[in-house]
Structure 1
């Protein structure tokens, strides 16, 4: 039989560890369940995806300056032309496949600053091309949230409607799409795809305290006060890290995106202690190794939280969106949260000490929840195969006899 041609799509290889971790989980599933499938990608960082995952990859945007601010007439014209060229390029890429998968990621949300003509437009082109060319587009384990900005909301809603298959990483996401007018009757909910990645063994105690930081400026609706939110977040997190270092605790700073490096540098410079170091993780697998070796984790980025919870490490969320709250509730740690928009070092320390006091109980809860997550993901992947990779029809007996 002709191998199934599978495309994967998204902001992959662009420096976001969570996005690439979702791709890693889907590729592991495809290689185990459908080893003859031929896979390639249309993505943000094709060179990085090919180098790491060994699959051919094509650049998502024709115009290379897509995500740079266009201040000159030439750049504006380039972006405008790129939108037209990308419509043709996306359709041509979709046509070459039997199936396209969007692996996880928050593709149906705007919890961080987002412009409608950026990725939401690209996703719409993909889903519209899939519908027109009769190539199923599957949104697998994606994140969604209510979107206030009308143009972005319209593009996201129609992308979801045009997709042939949808599943979500939490019930919050499915509820958000239903509220935006999408029929979610047959849509599944399962744990984040990163929970399918293997967890490394725990490190030898005593480990450091891992603090996952983020270049956080608020959400899409916070643009007017983005600078203030960023300043308060960095100052509050810095005070928390300094307090731990003054107690003689080792602190390991984690990131989840290339853009977080500036926050790490600012904290290290401000605290000025040899006890505070930065991890250089370049994948969720490496990030999980860091959290597995930690005594406890305090983290902001969603997939920093996922990695810490997946390794069973006591975790406190610096929560910046409802998805973080939903994840902590699902994993039984809803009491251990602190708002990222209003980081108060004193209150954060109090909550952190409470987490450490109950560390043994927290580890037991996480072990049970991780087992349940693994079983649910196994069931989801099996259902995904049944839906998108139907078994070939058996050859009639009479034909075999000939």
Structure 2
């Protein structure tokens, strides 16, 4: 508890939160749950992509991450290019002012140290670097908590990511591959730990055990165009992914299986529309999920899940539903291996509907056994995350010194 003479610790959360990505928001929800349980006295606010959503949904004050509202739109005109450039300078000042007001800043999960999807160095990598650099300048502790990382080929992006990680006070990763990638990029990871994705700390929705004839299948789709190094082949990769997924859904419909299409980001909606148009069957419907809790409810009601987005996989595995991954990055393979389903991965870049259907049928034959495995692995993940939260408390919230530090920082 905070005594009457002490100033409550000020905690900021940072990232592309409230921007339509359900996985990012689920990570925020998990960290807010930890703070409200372990540190109810803390004053929490956010610097994020969608401040209106974060304030409305999570009841914390929030500030827009970028001064220029067209930050993530392609700039082709001189005025837009100039505005983006000016925005980078303004954001440096805004970020520093926001960081200075905090004792602790937490970056909750997310793939903030990777470029497995298209990414420009002057976008989020620059924002993360501003956060970590100004935090080091003002003595604010920054924690990168259960984040994803991957080796990055683009030199400017790699440099920004590497320095951001080096400047952070605390780092943990959601899989060993992420820690290895940071080590390869020149970060000392000797004291860094690996923990499950933060979504495993969210409340669990129990899965319905299948009974009777084969039941519904959730198919999680994604506006997948390859990674940061695939820009030249993006349309070809997307067409191959979409065509293979449509063929797979048609095969399930031919077997009489009800299909629920899942997404994880607003940009996935055109993929859903393309599948509904191509298959044109009352057996195929689209779920309207606004949170990871909604995704978990959908997955819990299904016999089986086949999904692409990382947090679609997390939700399905967390509720204990047998899952097949259309894997677009090593992080998906690592997650499936951690949960005991490494045999059920299929490459998103090369979707072979016939082979995917074989894997799907093999998965369903082992359904009862895999549900027991998932129950055991989920219990272990929950306990592991509890240990991380205890470690976070020790690293970020020392018993004394908050009031003194904050008073000095606010002094004129």
Specify the TM-score bucket, using the shorter chain as the normaliser.
over 0.9
User: 2:62 maps to which residue?
Assistant: 57
Alpha-carbon shift at residue 270 of structure 1 (Å): 0.2
1:306 and 2:314 correspond: yes
Post-superposition CA distance 1:28-74 (Å, at most 9, x none): 00000000101000000000001100000000000000000001000
C-alpha separation in 2, matches of 1:200 and 1:327:
19
1:357 and 2:362 correspond: no
C-alpha separation in 2, matches of 1:328 and 1:183:
27
Alpha-carbon shift at residue 6 of structure 1 (Å): 0.2
C-alpha separation in 2, matches of 1:261 and 1:268:
11
Alpha-carbon shift at residue 188 of structure 1 (Å): 1.2
TM-score by length of 1: 0.97
User: 1:13 maps to which residue?
Assistant: 18
User: 1:197 maps to which residue?
Assistant: 202
Report SS of the residue matched to 1:363.
helix
User: 2:296 maps to which residue?
Assistant: 288
1:335 and 2:334 correspond: no
Post-superposition CA distance 1:212-231 (Å, at most 9, x none): 00000000011110000000
Alpha-carbon shift at residue 92 of structure 1 (Å): 0.1
Report SS of the residue matched to 1:70.
coil
User: 1:106 maps to which residue?
Assistant: 111
C-alpha separation in 1, matches of 2:135 and 2:146:
18
User: 1:397 maps to which residue?
Assistant: none
Counterparts of 1:231-270 in structure 2 under 5 Å?
Answer: 231-270=239-278
What RMSD over aligned residues (CA atoms) do the two structures have, in Å?
A: 0.9
User: 1:271 maps to which residue?
Assistant: 279
Report SS of the residue matched to 1:138.
strand
Unaligned stretches of 5+ residues in structure 1? 394-402
C-alpha separation in 1, matches of 2:279 and 2:386:
44
Post-superposition CA distance 1:65-93 (Å, at most 9, x none): 00000010000000000000000000000
Unaligned stretches of 5+ residues in structure 2? 1-5, 402-412
- Pick the aligned partner of 2:143 from 138, 152, 167: 138
User: 1:398 maps to which residue?
Assistant: none
Post-superposition CA distance 1:261-316 (Å, at most 9, x none): 00000001000000000000010011111111110000000000000000000000
User: 1:122 maps to which residue?
Assistant: 127
1:209 and 2:217 correspond: yes
C-alpha separation in 1, matches of 2:396 and 2:193:
14
- Pick the aligned partner of 1:70 from 63, 68, 75: 75
User: 1:223 maps to which residue?
Assistant: 231
C-alpha separation in 2, matches of 1:188 and 1:53:
28
Alpha-carbon shift at residue 392 of structure 1 (Å): 3.4
Alpha-carbon shift at residue 204 of structure 1 (Å): 6.5
C-alpha separation in 1, matches of 2:110 and 2:117:
13
Alpha-carbon shift at residue 390 of structure 1 (Å): 1.3
Report SS of the residue matched to 1:221.
coil
User: 1:152 maps to which residue?
Assistant: 157
- More displaced stretch, 201-210 vs 138-147: 201-210
Alpha-carbon shift at residue 391 of structure 1 (Å): 2.0
Report SS of the residue matched to 2:143.
strand
Alpha-carbon shift at residue 323 of structure 1 (Å): 0.3
Preserved contact between residue 11 and residue 44 of structure 2 (Cα < 8 Å): yes
Alpha-carbon shift at residue 246 of structure 1 (Å): 1.2
TM-score by length of 2: 0.94
C-alpha separation in 2, matches of 1:211 and 1:391:
47
Tell which has more relative contact order, 1 or 2 (C-alpha 8 A, sep 6+).
2
User: 2:93 maps to which residue?
Assistant: 88
- Pick the aligned partner of 2:383 from 375, 395, 399: 375
